[in-house]
């Protein structure tokens, strides 16, 4: 049965970090309805002045961030000195858990194109330690020919293919490159929240037209059908498990209660925010 589109959200212009111009698609106003997906920001610019200020060192607690760089480069650094760069078609995953400080700084490129997703952590795992970083490089990304489209498996699984998997919530994350007049059906079984995002171009999702830079949530079923018109498209599909837990969110911290937020910011001010050492996770 096809999963039909139940909700769409078109991104709007915004700024974040040290003044990075971006498209904000999901945020605290959508968090409960799109659970466990908290935030989705898209970057798309040919002007380095829009993004070179980047995202200097800042804290996170209670979430995982997954950044996909379709074109350009992004340099990650964290509070323990981990430094890693992802470039065209690669991604990076940070589990902040109990607390991490990190920065993400784009490099000058002909075009900087990508997205950052914030994935919520279950209440039982929000204070997990130590945090970890994992770079998802091209040699780890399986490419699956769908006939008229190519599915790049950034994380999770598709059929028998397996990619990088986080330690907490499952996340199937597909980067689907579609030719003009493509018509493909993806198997997406299971009771999950499924979001699609039109990073480049536009597409028809199970019979519903989805315009550029727009997120679409789909309902129950076990398949999603994607079709393009006269132009190619790049569509991201993200699938994970709904938590159904309270959300208390302020800035870079996402917890379950206001008291937990107050405690987190108090620890930042006191210099006691980071609980244990983080590290570079090199699992394939």
What's the confidence (pLDDT) of residue 190? 82
**What SS3 class is residue 268?**
helix
Percent of the chain with pLDDT over 70: 97
C-alpha pair distances (Å), 25 with each of 47, 65, 179, 199: 21, 15, 25, 11
DSSP H or E run through 259: helix 258-270
Q: Are 11 and 23 in contact (CB under 8 A)?
A: yes
Q: Read off the pLDDT of residues 10-20 as tens digits, 9 standing for 90 and up.
A: 999 999 999 99
**What SS3 class is residue 85?**
strand
**What SS3 class is residue 261?**
helix
Q: Read off the pLDDT of residues 56-113 as tens digits, 9 standing for 90 and up.
A: 999 999 999 999 999 999 999 998 788 999 999 999 999 999 999 999 999 999 999 9
Q: What is the dihedral of CA 153, 159, 164, 167, to 10 degrees?
A: 130
What's the confidence (pLDDT) of residue 276? 57
pTM of the model: 0.94
Q: Are 149 and 182 in contact (CB under 8 A)?
A: yes
Find, among 79, 43, 37, 32, the residue nearest to 60 by Cα.
79
């Amino acid at each position: 049965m096809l999963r039909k589109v139940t909700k769409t959200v078109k991104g709007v212009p915004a700024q974040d970090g040290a003044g990075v111009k971006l498209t904000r698609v999901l945020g605290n106003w959508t968090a409960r309805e799109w659970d466990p997906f908290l935030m989705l920001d898209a970057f798309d610019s040919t002007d380095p002045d829009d993004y070179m200020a980047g995202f200097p060192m800042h804290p996170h607690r209670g979430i995982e961030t997954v950044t996909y760089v379709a074109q350009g480069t992004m340099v990650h650094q964290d509070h323990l000195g981990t430094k890693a760069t992802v470039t065209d078609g690669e991604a990076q995953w940070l589990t902040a858990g109990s607390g991490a400080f990190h920065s993400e700084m784009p490099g000058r490129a002909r075009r900087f194109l990508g997205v950052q997703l914030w994935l919520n952590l279950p209440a039982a795992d929000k204070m997990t330690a130590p945090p970890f970083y994992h770079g998802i490089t091209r040699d780890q990304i399986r490419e699956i020919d769908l006939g008229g489209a190519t599915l790049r498996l950034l994380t999770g699984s598709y059929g028998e293919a397996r990619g990088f998997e986080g330690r907490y919530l499952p996340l199937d994350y597909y980067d689907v490159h579609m030719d003009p007049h493509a018509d493909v059906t993806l198997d997406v079984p299971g009771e999950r929240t499924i979001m699609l995002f039109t990073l480049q171009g536009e597409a028809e999702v199970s019979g519903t037209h989805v315009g550029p830079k727009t997120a679409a949530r789909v309902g129950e079923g076990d398949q999603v059908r994607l079709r393009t018109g006269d132009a190619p498209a790049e569509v991201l599909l993200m699938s994970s498990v709904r938590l159904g837990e309270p959300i208390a969110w302020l800035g870079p911290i996402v917890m379950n209660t206001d008291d937990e937020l107050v405690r987190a910011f108090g620890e930042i001010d006191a210099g006691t925010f980071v609980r244990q050492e983080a590290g570079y996770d090199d699992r394939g």
